Every structure is written in C-alpha cells, then in structure tokens.
A and B are shown apart, each in its own frame.
Chain A
Amino acid sequence: MTATAESTATASPRRRSVVLRRYAGWIFALPALLFYGIFEFRPILSALSYSFYQWDGVAPTKKWVGLANYGAVFTQPQQLASLIHAFVFIFFFTVLPVSFGLVVASIMRTVKPGPYGTVTRTLLFLPQIIPGAAAGVAWNWMYSRDGFVNTVLQWVGLGSLAQPWLGSFSLALPAVGFVGTWLATGLCSVLLMAGVGSIDPGLYEAASLDGAGAWWRFRAVTLPGLRQQIGVCVTITIIAALSSFDVVYLMTQGGPGYTTLVPGVEVYNLAFNENQIGAACALAVVLALIVMLIVVPLQLFFRKGDS
C-alpha cells in the first residue's frame, strides 16, 4: 500500500503533494527522535561498546578486553550474587504481592461499594505514590533496633527474636525484599480489583448454583477472568524486582557484606566507586538482556488469547 503510493507519486501532482506532506510530518516527530536518539538510544549503544573495554573512566584510551567483562559477571562472586538476589527479589516483588492482591481482590468483590472500600483502596495504594527512597528510610526505621518490628515482637512475647534486621547476614535480604512486597501489594490489589469488577457476575452465580464453594469459584471464575491483569502485575513487578535500586541503596547499600547486593547497586558501585566502567556496563547489559528475555515471553503468554 505504502509502496504503491510512493511509486506512483511522480504520476500525479496531487499524489506528490500527499507524499511530501507525509515526509513533512517528520518535523513533528523530529524533536522526539532527537531527544530519544541522543539521551536514550546513543547511551544504550555506548553501554554496549564500553562493555568490551577495560576503562577507568578517566584515561584517554580504553583497553579492548573482548568478552572478559561478561565472563566476570558470571564468575566474580559479588556480581553473580547480585544477579541471584535479583531473582530472589522476584519472590518478594512479584509472587507475594500478586498472591496478596488476589486475596484482597476476591474479598473486595464481596464488599459493598462505599466509604470502607474507598478508604481501604486509597490506603493500599499509598506505598505506590511515595518515592522508593522514602520507603527505604521508612523501613530502615521499621527495622531498627527500637523500631516497629522489634517493638511488636516484644509486645507479643517474641522479644527473643528482636534484632537489628538489616545487620543480619541471613535476614537482611528477605527484610529488604519485604519492602518490595509492601511497595507492590497495593498496585497489584487495585489492578486485580478492577479486573474482578469487570468479570460477569453471572459467572459467579452459575458457579454457586453448580455447588462451587468459595475456593472453586476463585479457581474456575476469578483466576481465568484475571489472566490479563495478572499478566500486567507480573510484568511490572518483575521489572521492578530485577532493576531495583532506590530501596536497596538507601537501606543497606548492598550490605552486610554483599548479602543484599542487587545489580543496580553493583552497577553503581563498579562505575562510580571502583572506576570499572567496562565491568559496570557489562553487568548493566546482562541485566537488560535478562529483563527482555523474561518480559517478552511473559507478554506473549499473557496476551495470548485476547487480541
């Protein structure tokens, strides 16, 4: 269609003016092309190119090292650990919030619209609004020696479990991960609630008439009806889990040791504290590839069936 329009363009002056107009339209897209090209596309290419060099960011020449930086991503313990932690975070950022969200959405379905539901939804959504950095500070305080978590443990008689959570080599990672759960639960709940709202209520009645209990109504009606919304929640939260930075940087900077190190923080450390630009870029490229390799099939899986 386009090709025909262009090949016959010379034939009639009117046609030519149409084609000219279409090219002139680029004037509208040019600013976007420039900003995107200079500040996103070019940096992506630079990151790719840096990743094949050893460079301290200052020296006038870079040393070509081929794939050595990529080898280090998978052999150097800190970098490898950061990638593993990113996958552990998927449990906290994705699995838990989506499960909680499903529970909340199922309950909300049975609650009459009114102030109670509205207030609950407003509060649930709040963590999504505050800066990730602020969430980090808030939870630093929650986990501190005299903080909320330890106070509650003492109230309920489990004072022996009270400890400085973020200083623990074994518990700091789940503690930080749980902040991700806190951040994502509201978004997932509200998204899933909207999804449940659009399921035909007749389906629930029919299931009840067939003698389905609450669990079977959930499995047979709610879950399939929410396929698309679950897909959205999973996609967004996996991206957030893999590319987390703000919360971890503010809470632990990756410590103690490197037990809470994530790729984002390690990229920052490598580049701006250890002056290993090539290594940092290689890790960033690997991270970007992992995100793409996970998100693209997920989109295909969850979008399949609807058009």
Chain B
Amino acid sequence: MSDSWSSKLPRYALLGAVALYSIIPVLSMLSAALLPQNVIPTGLNFTLHPQWHNFVDAWSLANMSTLLKSSVLLVVGVVPAALLISTLAAYAIVILRIPLGGIFYAVLVLTLVLPFEIVVIPLYFQDQAMGLLNTRWGLILPLIGLNMPFAVFWMRSYFLNMPAELYEAATVDGGSAWAIFWKVHLPLARPAVASLGLLMFLSTWNQFLLPLVLMANPNNWTLAGALQTFQNKYGTNEVLLNAGAIELMAPTILVYLILQRHFVKAMMQGAVKG
C-alpha cells in the first residue's frame, strides 16, 4: 500500500464521515440537551453556557431512579438464572448425552429465529391466568424462557469443542455429574458464559415490547420502555426530552465503552453462530 497523503486522505475522510454519521444523532441530542430550557433548539447547537442542570431536572421528571431500579431488577432476575439454566441444559445435552437431547435441541433451534411478536399475545393471557400480569415475575420468568434457544445454542457449541475425555477422566476419578459440572466444565466455560451474559444483559436492558405489553405501570418498565411515556409527556419540551433520552441511553453506552472489546467480540460471535 502506498502511504502518500494524497491516497490516504480520501479513504480516511470517508471513514471519518461514516463514523460521524454513526454518532450524529447522539451528538445532536446532546447539543440540544444543554440549551436553556426556554430555547427552541435546532439540529446542532453550540452553546457557551451548557445547562448541566437540565440533566438533573430530566432525571426527576422522568422518574429515572425508579426506572433504573426496575431495569436493574429485571437484569438481575433474568440474566444469572438464564445463564445457569441454559449452561446446565447444554451440559446435559452435550456432555451427559441425555436421551432425546438431540430432539430437544432441534426444537430449540427451530424456534431460534421466531420474532417475539408470535409469543407476546399468548404470554399476556398466560400471565393473566397465572396471576403474574403486572408483576416483575410476570416479566422475568418469560424472559428467562425466551432466552433459552439462543443460550442453549451458544453453550452447546462451546461444550462441543471440549474434549470428551475430560468427562470420562473425571468420572473415573469418582466425581458425580454435578460435581464434575461445577469443578471441571463450568470453570472452563467461563469465557463463553461471560460473553453470553453480556449479550443477555444488552437484550434484557433494551427490552421494549415485553414490558410494554406485560406491565400496566410504566414505572415497572425498563428505561427503554419508559422513553415512550417520557416522549408523550414532555415531547413539547425538546431540551428536557433530549436530556432525558440521553440519560436513558447512558448506562448501556458507558458499559459499552468500558467493555468495548468484549462487547464487539461477543456480538460478533453471537452473530456468526446465530
């Protein structure tokens, strides 16, 4: 490759333009969020007096503390349980070779690509019948179940690459299937479990349709779900709306920037496997 600036410049400029295009909407929101509240913002604004307290106002208006708590509770309720359950199932299918395990797996994979739209209505009536409608459990339990196809799929492909002798050797040493799982396979699978956990965190945190349908009280929604209420209520105050929306996005963006490398890797593996 030649390194002359004349050949580099157009390529670098194009990449820069693409990167800018990716973040323009966020920048545009930020620029509007920092204006005085009585100003009608335009596309991109530059202010010498950023009004940081807009974020404080939006925080209380959007009931952000409550929403943050709801989102965290949802993630805490869904992710660890779904990780454990799916890892156990993949272990049973691959390592313990349970009878009919292949059929169970085939059914899981068959439903892997189905859109949420097909389950959301029956889930509403099922939650109603079980008395779970409008409760946190009514959202947590279905999300654990809906995570199964991808999670088992993910963990299975990981266990498939583990040598079978590992289990046989541990059995000869007198370990029970349970002990071998905890002492041998789970520790070895830690990286796969961690990536899966990251993906689950993201999809749970960003969940929108399910809370919308299964929870009548917007305070129980995830931050993502609450954006809608916030938009309807404060849509006329563009400054506060943008400040609130940025706060709602901030947690995932922060986690992404910190764990960037892991995120990209996990999402790409997830994509390739899916």
**B220 interface residue (CB < 8 Å to A):** no
Residue pair A277, B121 in contact (C-beta under 8 Å): yes
Q: How far is the CB of B21 from chain A (nearest CB, A)?
A: 7
Residue pair B274, A272 in contact (C-beta under 8 Å): no
Given contacts A42-B126, A182-B25, contact A107 B149 (CB under 8 A): no
Residue pair B118, A284 in contact (C-beta under 8 Å): yes
Residues of A within 8 A of B113 (CB): 239, 291-292, 295
Residues of B within 8 A of A119 (CB): 19
**CA gap between A104 and B88 in the complex, in Å:** 40
**CA gap between A215 and B14 in the complex, in Å:** 17
Residue pair A287, B146 in contact (C-beta under 8 Å): no
Residue of B nearest to A101 (CB): B18
Residue pair B118, A26 in contact (C-beta under 8 Å): no
**A300 interface residue (CB < 8 Å to B):** no
Residues of A within 8 A of B40 (CB): 146
Residues of B within 8 A of A249 (CB): 208, 212, 228
Residues of A within 8 A of B248 (CB): 131, 134
Given contacts A39-B146, A129-B253, contact A263 B117 (CB under 8 A): yes
Chain A 110-129 per-residue mask, 1 if CB under 8 angstroms from chain B, else 0? 11000011011111111111
**B125 interface residue (CB < 8 Å to A):** yes
**B52 interface residue (CB < 8 Å to A):** no
Residue pair A33, B104 in contact (C-beta under 8 Å): yes
Residue pair A46, B125 in contact (C-beta under 8 Å): yes
Residue pair A288, B19 in contact (C-beta under 8 Å): no
**Quick one: which of A31, A36, A149 contacts B43, CB cutoff 8 A?**
A149
Residue pair A129, B144 in contact (C-beta under 8 Å): no
**Quick one: which of A144, A182, A243 contacts B117, CB cutoff 8 A?**
A243
Dominant SS at the A interface?
A: helix
Residues of A within 8 A of B18 (CB): 100, 104, 120, 124, 185, 189
Residue pair B252, A236 in contact (C-beta under 8 Å): no
**CA gap between A189 and B264 in the complex, in Å:** 12
**B75 interface residue (CB < 8 Å to A):** no
Residue pair B43, A107 in contact (C-beta under 8 Å): no
Residues of A within 8 A of B101 (CB): 25, 29
Q: How far is the CB of A191 from chain B (nearest CB, A)?
A: 6
* Number of residues of chain A lying within 8 A (CB) of chain B: 106
Tell which of B25, B223, B242 has the most Cβ of chain A within 10 Å: B25
Q: How far is the CB of B97 from chain A (nearest CB, A)?
A: 6
Residues of A within 8 A of B146 (CB): 39-40
The segment from A16-24, A64-72, A88-96, A216-224 found at the interface with B is A16-24
Q: Which of B139-187 contact A (CB under 8 A)?
A: 141-142, 144-146, 148-149, 152, 177, 181
**CA gap between A299 and B2 in the complex, in Å:** 39
**Quick one: which of A44, A120, A126 contacts B253, CB cutoff 8 A?**
A126
**CA gap between A40 and B143 in the complex, in Å:** 9
Residue pair A107, B14 in contact (C-beta under 8 Å): yes
**Quick one: which of A23, A107, A135, A229 contacts B11, CB cutoff 8 A?**
A107
Residue pair A250, B252 in contact (C-beta under 8 Å): no
**A171 interface residue (CB < 8 Å to B):** no
**A173 interface residue (CB < 8 Å to B):** no
Residues of A within 8 A of B24 (CB): 142, 148
Q: Which of B24-60 contact A (CB under 8 A)?
A: 24-26, 28-29, 32, 40-44
Given contacts A26-B92, A121-B264, A148-B24, contact A245 B253 (CB under 8 A): no
Residue pair A246, B88 in contact (C-beta under 8 Å): no
Residues of B within 8 A of A44 (CB): 111, 114, 118-119, 122
Q: How far is the CB of B260 from chain A (nearest CB, A)?
A: 6
Interface residues, chain B, with chain A CB atoms under 8 Å away: 1, 11-12, 14-16, 18-26, 28-29, 32, 40-44, 85-86, 88-89, 91-93, 96-99, 101, 104, 107-108, 111, 113-126, 141-142, 144-146, 148-149, 152, 177, 181, 202, 205-206, 208-209, 212-213, 222-225, 227-228, 231, 238, 241-242, 245, 248-249, 252-253, 256-257, 260, 263-264, 267-268, 271-272, 274
Task: Please name the 4 residue pairs, one residue from A and one from B, whose CB atoms are nearest each other, closest first.
Answer: A39-B145, A151-B43, A243-B115, A25-B96
**What are 12 sample pairs from A and B whose C-beta atoms fall under 8 A apart?**
A25-B177, A27-B92, A28-B92, A28-B96, A31-B85, A125-B267, A138-B245, A139-B25, A141-B25, A141-B29, A141-B238, A263-B117
